[in-house]
Structure 1
Amino acid sequence: MPTRSDAVALLEEWVASEALRKHMYAVEAAVRHYARLMGEDEDLWGLAGLLHDLDWERHPDEHPHIGVARLRELGYPAEVVHAIEAHAYPDRTDVVPESQLDRVLYGCDELSGLVYACCLVRPNGIDDLKPKSVAKKMKDKAFARGVHRDAVQRGIDLIGLPRAEHIQNVIDGLRTVGDVLEVRGVDQAARRRG
């Protein structure tokens, strides 16, 4: 099985956008957090989170098909490939999220983007972010317009947890990479000064 180092090298080869890289690291962190909570293989699940948008920048109209084909060529596990295909359901694939990994990746993808956006507008970033604040911003359609609210809700439904609990789990996952994402309170203070 390819390692996380292999996956990071592939990400760096395919993805130039810092914003997209941060999104991919955020989703990886959220999915890994769920793997820990569920007693699953963090490394395996992390690969799906890290590489789920591999081809988005190069081939947006063919996402995720080009990336999935490349991952198959490189010998990535079938579970990872299936989860990446399923995260684009129903808009881009007909691969239904079935496994726990499929549902978790789907449930963490768009919500991670919303949580990240919430961090950027708060003085303390992710440090004291609560699910209630994220839920409030979810209702504001003018906030983080690129986040598809219907996909967030489908993800919550697929995960099967109460909304606040799922949001908290994603926040907790992103906190583990807060420095990488630059969403800690000190990062926010530096951004305001700079």
Structure 2
Amino acid sequence: MEATRERAWEPLTKYTQREALRRHALAVEASTAWYARHFDEDEEFWEAVLSHAEHLGMPRDTPLKKALFACDELSGFVHACGLVRPTGIAGLEPKSVKKKLKQPSFAAGVHREEVYAGAEGLGLDLDDHIRNVVEAMQPIAPELGLRTADTADTT
């Protein structure tokens, strides 16, 4: 049976009741799909990944495994950064994200060491990885509950 985004999304929404976790799944999906296009891989296959976890100790020996690991914690952190900015993730720069990474109380559930290890595993500078994830998440910002440049309160 072929894996598709629709087939993956159905059980995810059935078994993931918390809206925050669904939004996290969307953010990881968008970021991982960006890397699928970057590595000239099958985006539909990559988007269909149902589970991942550092604690399983699975080797990250393919671009898919590396990208999924790299996008998991960072997409959640970028989302948190967007929630506290008047313009969401529009205009979010790596410098701002890295400054927040140094604040242990901000998005305390995000494993910082995995953010750094993820970029390293992709062979990328952390700034480049942050830019890529922000770019990947911008088109779905409204679905993630984030303000956009168009919806920002500028008063």
| TM-score normalised to structure 2 length | 0.92
Query: 1: CA distance between counterparts of 2:152 and 2:73?
Result: 22
Contact 2:39 2:63 in 1 (8 A): no
Pairwise CA distance, 1:184: 2.4
Query: 1: CA distance between counterparts of 2:100 and 2:34?
Result: 23
Aligned residues: 152
Give 3-state SS (helix, strand or coil) of 2:76's partner.
helix
Which of 91, 106, 121 lines up with 1:143 in the alignment? 106
Residue 99 of structure 1 corresponds to which residue in structure 2? 62
Task: Tell me which amino acid in the other structure corresponds to 1:108.
Answer: C
Query: 2: CA distance between counterparts of 1:93 and 1:153?
Result: 19
Pairwise CA distance, 1:113: 0.8
Query: 1: CA distance between counterparts of 2:8 and 2:139?
Result: 19
Contact 1:29 1:174 in 2 (8 A): yes
Q: Following superposition, which runs of at least 4 residues in structure 1 exceed 4 angstroms of deviation?
A: none
Higher helix share: 1
The CA RMSD measured in Å over matched residues stands at: 1.6
Structure with greater Cα Rg = 1
Q: Does 1:123 align with 2:124?
A: no
Residue 27 of structure 1 corresponds to which residue in structure 2? 28
Give the fraction of aligned pairs with identical amino acids, expressed as a percent.
42
Pairs within 5 Å for 1:31-70? 31-48=32-49, 51-52=50-51
| TM-score normalised to structure 1 length | 0.74
**Which residues of structure 1 form unaligned runs of 5+?**
53-83, 190-194
Pairwise CA distance, 1:2: 2.6
Query: 2: CA distance between counterparts of 1:94 and 1:143?
Result: 27
